[in-house]
Amino acid sequence: MAADSMVQLVSYLTAQQPYEILGTPESQWVDFKSYSPKGPYDLSTDKGKFELSKDVAAFANASGGLLVCGFKAKKKQNELYEVAEKVTPFGKELVDDDSYKSVLAEYVRPLLKVQFYWYDHPADDPDVSGHYFVIEVPALPDADRWAMVARGITDNGQFIKNSWTIPIRNGDNTAYLPPDEAYRLLNDGLRTRRGPAVAPTPVADRVRSREALRTAVGMEETPVLFFQTVPDHPRGLVTGLYADGGLRDILNNQDTLRDAYAFNWASERNRPEPHEGGLLLADGSRRGLLIESDGAVTGAAAANADMLGWAMEASSVIEPRRISVFVLTEITLEYFRLVDQHVLPLVDSTWTHRIVASDFTRPPARTLAPGDDPSFPLRGAPQPATSDSWNYSWQALGDPERDAYEALSRIYPLFGLDVTANPFVDADRVITAKLLEKK
């Protein structure tokens, strides 16, 4: 079996049913810890102190969560995340609550209202005995974001003086606020002292979600254009994903500009499947869509002849990896028609959109040309991609034509082009009518 929420997991521990938790994947709300002779965290070392502080701060910077000590987690073949696979209860003498509190008080800012709980393993189990130690971390209120660890750490596990880091729970992993975003946080605070309110803090980049989707749809060896949308402050599980009229039904019956064989995120052959508390809609190795349990969305479109380069390879053997302007524009608009209209309203938060072009310079490099796609060999000089890790974000506008324009305005510079070279845009938006004129 498995637990699908914090409430259910705690209820299993309270009822002394820890085996019901086996099979639960690590996620945005739970992390499993086994133990060593020094306990789940070795607080006699800098590394142990950092790991405890980092794990607690990361959950506080997301939507809160549980650090559940006494389970061994492992990533199995064909699994995207580590899963609780074995109970490993231990003696209470391995954890000194006061030491845990002291470490968090010394190294985490601001002081967090963390709760500690012990749960007993069934006394009649002939195989193992002991207890489970759970650290419950509440989410920080928006006004108090962000929690930071007041020390960085070296590769050798030693604290670095006069350093700090801001960890953020990212799926089943921990990401760190990049230096440029931390710099923006500092300047935002200074501007708040001097004048009016500032723009929202940037959201963490969910790298892990892109990697998971890429694996799920079999695009590991293919250049991929990712679209990603994340709530700046997740509120926990989105309700109604699987209900009648919910997101699963919407994905299954998408309102697209053309049929499901066109350049959108629908599929005639496959249906959205439950996945890690969310939904996965995979369409072979052409495209895929992942919606996570907190509403975050990741879309992947293959930059090959089956998707972004559709019909372009026939134009010339000289340019076998040219991207179709029309296909690029339509699938971009269709992503935001789906996400802006049906996902953003589910979470009361500001949202961040992101585009990532991965491996576009892998030989032969992907190319893009100004203007419309040529009807006969290669009118317009195609420009090669200039980076393998193109990654840009912006605050979601909630208007599909506007957000599609913002995405294209960040994609075109990858090829040394301005978005005005795209014939389907005008002013600050993609013009749907112009796309529909294209046969």
- The phi, psi pair for 186, rounded to 5°, reads -60, -45
Which tens digits make up the pLDDT trace of 367-380?
999 988 765 444 56
Average pLDDT over residues 318-328: 80
Q: Is residue 202 part of a domain?
A: no
Residue 184 predicted with pLDDT over 70? no
Asked whether the beta carbons of 149 and 59 are under 8 A apart, the reply is: no
Examine the domain organization and report whether 224 and 270 are in the same domain: yes
Stretch among 6-20, 233-247, 340-354 having the lowest mean pLDDT: 233-247
Q: Is residue 192 part of a domain?
A: no
Q: Is residue 195 part of a domain?
A: no
Examine the domain organization and report whether 282 and 221 are in the same domain: yes
Examine the domain organization and report whether 427 and 383 are in the same domain: yes
Examine the domain organization and report whether 218 and 163 are in the same domain: no
Q: Tell which of 179, 199, 230 closes a domain.
A: 179
Q: Is residue 5 very low, low, confident or very high in pLDDT (cuts 50, 70, 90)?
A: confident
Q: Is residue 199 part of a domain?
A: no
Residue 162 predicted with pLDDT over 90? no
Which of helix, strand or coil describes residue 228? strand
Q: Is residue 197 part of a domain?
A: no
Q: Tell which of 138, 159, 179 closes a domain.
A: 179
What is the domain range of residue 41? 6-179
Examine the domain organization and report whether 175 and 219 are in the same domain: no
Which tens digits make up the pLDDT trace of 106-141?
999 988 889 999 999 999 999 999 999 999 999 888
**Residue in 230, 313, 308, 209 with CA at minimum distance from that of residue 264:** 308
Residue type, 279: L
**Residue in 254, 289, 252 with CA at minimum distance from that of residue 269:** 252
Which tens digits make up the pLDDT trace of 387-429?
988 999 998 999 999 999 999 999 999 999 999 999 999 988 9
Examine the domain organization and report whether 175 and 225 are in the same domain: no
The domain that holds 158 is classified in CATH as 3.30.950
Q: For residue 148, what are the β-bridge partners?
A: 109
Q: Is residue 1 part of a domain?
A: no
Q: Tell which of 128, 160, 179 closes a domain.
A: 179
Examine the domain organization and report whether 286 and 137 are in the same domain: no
Q: Is residue 194 part of a domain?
A: no
Examine the domain organization and report whether 174 and 50 are in the same domain: yes
Examine the domain organization and report whether 254 and 377 are in the same domain: yes
Q: Is residue 316 part of a domain?
A: yes
pTM of the predicted structure, to 2 decimals: 0.57
Distance CA 296, CA 12 (A): 28
Examine the domain organization and report whether 222 and 144 are in the same domain: no
Which tens digits make up the pLDDT trace of 11-44?
999 999 999 999 999 988 999 999 999 999 999 9
Please tell me the total count of domains within the chain.
Answer: 2
Examine the domain organization and report whether 118 and 265 are in the same domain: no
Examine the domain organization and report whether 286 and 332 are in the same domain: yes
**Residue in 83, 69, 13 with CA at minimum distance from that of residue 40:** 69
Say what the pLDDT of residue 145 is: 73
For the chain, how big is the Rg over CA atoms in Å? Answer: 24
**Residue in 251, 258, 242, 171 with CA at minimum distance from that of residue 210:** 171
Say what the pLDDT of residue 188 is: 62
Strands 83-87 and 108-109: unpaired
Residue 245 predicted with pLDDT over 50? yes
